[in-house]
Homo-oligomer: A and B are copies of this chain.
Amino acid sequence: MKEYVIGIDIGGTFTKTGFVDRDGNCFAEGVAPTDTFDNVDNFLEYLIKELDAAEKQLEGPYRIAGVGIGAPNGNFHNGTIENAPNLRWRGTIPFADMVNKHYNVPVRLTNDANAAALGEMVYGGARGMKDFIMITLGTGLGSGIVVNGDLVYGHDGFAGELGHVNVVENGRRCGCGNHGCLETYVSAPGIKRTVFELLAHDSSGSELADFSYNELDSEMIYNAAKNDDPIALKAFEITGQTLGKKLADSVVHTSPEAIFLFGGLSKSGDFIFKPTKKYLEESVMINFKNKVKILPSQLTDRNAAVMGASALIWKELDK
């Protein structure tokens, strides 16, 4: 009988869903609002209703093999969402247990970047790899670390927060409350902040000088770079340099075969990959030089998080 895993990707604004088969095909996709619900029970009630309706689109005999969930601040060990800054639901929410009451199948939950790493391993460019790191570049910098074929969850279930290694002592203010974290330099807002620093230093000849902080986004910086805008080019160079140097530190921790870049900034191609690779190789300990591939994610963006979430279950079933 055909098997599907329900993949759920909870974001701050929207929650995406889909029924994913073993080959990574995603059926009966859906989108539900997240932030209109100030109560998680009401949210789940709505979500289940939507999923029930979507399930009617599936054809032929099938069974639901499990539910995989990616969520901000998701704790794999407990199946909980814990104090996620960009969700309206406070405290520790036993979301996996709540879902399990509706679907009497295995329910697994982890954070969104870990889900993306699993997606890369099961459906993407990391197939066959045992040791790799997934870096997701968006509003923040998320990461999932895979060691010997398994995600690293760590003692408390929250391992793999590479966005919060320190780059600059008392550096840029970070959403986590700290200062100088990697994601304040390497992320969509991070490169914008770098552009503004560069403009302050010397704005001559840059089209980016025409935009307010609130107007500018990373796609505009990418387009400017394609036009040889000196500030945009410099901002990409600095962003890749910062990322490459810090990844050199990550490499000596877990010695990955590859590091995948996923999402937003990673679409900028050579503008981000070239300096990242260059400065990683320059900085990393000699034992690891010319060993680590820096690769673009092979997951298509549209369903990546939903597929990654579903991989939580497929990977477990394959054991």
Contact = CB atoms under 8 A, between A and B. Distances in A.
Interface in A256-271: 256-257
A131 interface: yes
A253 B159 contact: yes
A222 B154 CA distance: 34
A158 B256 CA distance: 10
A55 B159 CA distance: 45
A155 B256 contact: yes
Interface string A144-181: 01011010111111111110111000000000111001
Query: What secondary structure prevails in chain A residues at the interface with B?
Result: loop
Contacts of A35: none
Given A154-B131, A155-B131, A176-B285, A162 B252 contact: yes
Interface in A240-280: 245, 248-250, 252-257
A288 interface: yes
Contacts of A153: 148, 255
Copies per assembly: 2
A286 interface: yes
Contacts of A250: 253
A226 interface: no
Contact of A178 (B152, B159, B162, B285): B285
B249 A286 contact: no
A287 interface: yes
B254 A166 contact: no
Interface residues of A, number: 41
A254 B148 contact: no
Contact of A253 (B131, B162, B178, B288): B162
Contacts of A88: none
A84 to B, nearest CB: 11
Contacts of A152: 147-148, 253-255
Contacts of A127: none
Interface string A53-76: 000000000000000000001000
Interface in A129-150: 130-131, 145, 147-148, 150
A92 interface: no
Contacts of A15: none
A154 B254 contact: yes
B165 A249 contact: yes
A283 interface: yes
Nearest to A157: B255
A291 interface: yes
The 8 closest A-B CB pairs, nearest first, are A154-B255, A159-B255, A155-B257, A164-B285, A161-B252, A165-B249, A131-B155, A253-B253
9 contacts: A145-B253, A148-B150, A154-B255, A155-B255, A155-B256, A155-B291, A158-B287, A159-B253, A250-B253
